[in-house]
Structure 1
Amino acid sequence: MNKINCNKCIYYYITWDKINPKGCKFFKFKSKQMPSIIVLKSSGNPCKAFIEKK
C-alpha cells in the first residue's frame, strides 16, 4: 500500500489553528496529524479523495 502524501493533494491546506494546523477541504476537518493518516485510522482504508496537484 502506497503512503498518501497530503502535501501533494489539491484538498490539503494549512490552517491558522495552532492546535490543528493541517486541514482537508474534501472531508472538511482539521487535525494535528496529516489528514490521510486520520482517514486511514478512522475508515481502515487509504484516502479515496486524493487528487495530485498539477
Structure 2
Amino acid sequence: MKKINCRKCKFYYVTWEKKQPHGCRAYGFKSAQIPSIVVFQSSGTDCSLFELKAPSK
C-alpha cells in the first residue's frame, strides 16, 4: 500500500462527527479511519480517485 495523505486530497473533508470524523466525497462515505485506509481494506487496492487540492490563494 502506498502512503496516501487524504488531507491533501480535494475530496477529503472533516465531518465533525465524533464517531466518523473523516469523509470522502469521491466515494461518498464517512469513517472513523482515514478514507484511503478504508478503501484499501475493502477493495485491496490503493485509492484511485486521489486528486491533490488546489493551492490556497
User: Does the pair score TM above 0.5?
Assistant: yes
Are positions 1:36 and 2:36 aligned together? yes
Q: CA deviation at 1:12?
A: 0.1
> Normalized against structure 1, the TM-score is what?
0.93
Structure 2 unaligned spans of 5+: none
Are positions 1:12 and 2:15 aligned together? no
The amino acid that maps onto 2:20 is N
> Normalized against structure 2, the TM-score is what?
0.89
Q: CA deviation at 1:45?
A: 0.2
Q: Once the two structures are superposed, what CA deviation does each residue of 1:1-48 show, in whole Å capped at 9, x if it has no partner?
A: 521000000000000211100000011100010000000000000000
